[in-house]
Amino acid sequence: MVDRVLALREIRPELVHAPSIALPHVRGIATLDDGLLLLEDLDAVLSLDEEESVGRALSPPPIASAQ
For 29-54, the pLDDT digits (tens) are: 998 888 998 898 888 888 889 888 88
Is 28 exposed, middle or buried (CB count within 10 Å of its CB: 0-12, 13-18, 19+)?
middle
- pTM for this one? 0.58
Q: What is the DSSP string of 29-47?
A: EEEETTEEEEEE-HHHHS-
**CB of 39 within 8 A of CB of 32?**
no
pLDDT in the model for residue 17: 94
Closest CA to 23 of 33, 35, 36: 36
